[in-house]
Amino acid sequence: MKEFKFESFEKSLPRRKFLLSTGMFAAGAVLSACTLTEEPIRLADADSAAEVPAWPWNYKKLDPEVARKKGYDGYFSNGGCMGGAIVGTLGYLQEEAGAPFTSIPIEMFKYGAGGAVGWGTLCGALNGAGAFLNLLSKDYSKIYNELIGWYCGFPFPSDKHESYCKFPGQITTVSNSPLCHNSVTIWCTEAGVRFDSQEKYDRCAKLTGDVAAKAIELLNAEIEGKFIAAYKPTEEHAACMSCHTGPKSPIGNVQGKMDCLDCHDDHTK
Amino acid sequence: MKEFKFESFEKSLPRRKFLLSTGMFAAGAVLSACTLTEEPIRLADADSAAEVPAWPWNYKKLDPEVARKKGYDGYFSNGGCMGGAIVGTLGYLQEEAGAPFTSIPIEMFKYGAGGAVGWGTLCGALNGAGAFLNLLSKDYSKIYNELIGWYCGFPFPSDKHESYCKFPGQITTVSNSPLCHNSVTIWCTEAGVRFDSQEKYDRCAKLTGDVAAKAIELLNAEIEGKFIAAYKPTEEHAACMSCHTGPKSPIGNVQGKMDCLDCHDDHTK
């Protein structure tokens, strides 16, 4: 089995301050020029640029199960969870519908891997799915809110990747959070494997496919007029928010929908 | 002063399950059709689609101070912090360089507002800046890591918006975190204002401009061969990670670079 490595995480580690002399600055400039140049690309004139359709772009209905497999594969081919979710949604739409979707490079969504180059914030699969939903619907907010709420309570990974995955039969955990840090750490602790193991990469690839599939399920429900916002915050969260937010709360200082008691003690008890 | 309202947050609130009968499903379908249709748009043929340049796209050097003002304005015109950061970076590049940048609709980046439709995860300004950096450099990871590290220690908002902002002279706070929840809640508590107040919107608009400006500063440094990765995690974080991650750690179960002690007690003391 070929070992998968995470380039983007490794590159984000602090590097030594080696650009200290003029000569070394020049060397740095040459290195940089390989990936970043100052000249703008101009491949289209003003007329063709005007052909870019107004947002939101129209949606061609996709198959959640195809998206699930593409999201899994995309995790390994496009820089992790955010890039994988984009392969399973926008990339899939590019294959099915061509332009204008092909004008958005799928590689620009690698940055969300590991909750933003490994910082552990928003799960990258959710981040990629958000961009996809937002591209296609003015009502992205209600659909995306539902997707995030579903994610918090779902036992990842699903068992729908058994026929092609590298590690079938993995244990499942519920993160109770949209944060990569919680999702990965809870699963790794329960599974007894490292965060940079092949087992964990396979688990997150499956999760990526699962999120891509669910985003498409919700979007399909929306165009069929069947979308229902089922997610509700927990009673504990609602109790905290009765003081900390809401139009009539006395404090109203908190922004967020994550479960408060994951990080805070309940100071009312 | 015109009052600013946050559409996307309001739409993400759970709505009543009103689509319960066939007739009401049909009504839902009509409503949905206003913003989401099933037919793909085809405005370009296969040849013109092939004109989309390979990633990463070339960068035309931008002015951080222009980006700062555009990011501030973009917060109000393009759905909040993520959309604003995109206006200040990608939108600015669209004005300066035209195609192919104009083929990516800036409206598709509204979903990150309030840390993903109000969930309080990754700061939307950082989310938008990540997409911009990722579009333009294969080395986005080291630049983005630096931007996030800088964000965690910066006293937002800067005082560089005084001549045009709605609330000059606001207090500043350091969030010690890339999460919207921490950044907003700490500032609101210190400022004594609500999370949905005009004062807070102005603060976050300034922060959005500040993040757009910093992203461009770092990218400019990169093409000039002057980029230095200055950010280092705190000693406390490094101490936790010596067990919880790293190639030789005994556990290696944690993914993330956020400050552990913001949410966890130090169990070694």
List residues bridging with B179 in a β-sheet: B122
- Cβ of residue A119 closer than 8 Å to a chain B Cβ: yes
Under 8 Å between Cβ of A140 and B110? yes
CB contact under 8 A, A98 and B49: yes
Q: What is the reported pLDDT for A1?
A: 52
Q: What is the reported pLDDT for A52?
A: 86
Under 8 Å between Cβ of A120 and B255? yes
Q: Any residues with CB less than 8 A from the CB of B82 and at least 6 apart, and which?
A: B109, B110, B111, B112, B113, B124, B125, B127, B128
Across B8-13, average pLDDT: 40
Q: What is the ipTM of this complex?
A: 0.85
Predicted confidence (pLDDT) per residue in A58-81, tens digit: 998 999 999 999 999 999 999 999
Predicted confidence (pLDDT) per residue in B159-177, tens digit: 999 999 999 999 999 999 9
**Residue A183 confidence (pLDDT) above 50:** yes
Res. B19 pLDDT band, cuts 50 70 90? very low
Across B230-248, average pLDDT: 84
Mean pLDDT check: name the lowest of A120-129, B69-78, B90-99, B232-241. Answer: B232-241
**Residue A195 confidence (pLDDT) above 60:** yes
Across B245-261, average pLDDT: 82
Q: What is the reported pLDDT for A32?
A: 36
Across A203-214, average pLDDT: 98
pTM for the full predicted model: 0.86
From the list B39, B51, B117, the residue facing A44 with the nearest CB is B51
Across B191-215, average pLDDT: 97
**Contact list, A254 vs chain B (CB under 8 Å):** 181, 184-185, 188, 195
- Cβ of residue B176 closer than 8 Å to a chain A Cβ: no
From the list B43, B109, B262, the residue facing A134 with the nearest CB is B109
- Cβ of residue B268 closer than 8 Å to a chain A Cβ: no
Across A22-34, average pLDDT: 35
Q: Any residues with CB less than 8 A from the CB of B238 and at least 6 apart, and which?
A: none
Centre a 10 Å sphere on the Cβ of residue B197 and count the other Cβ atoms it contains: 15
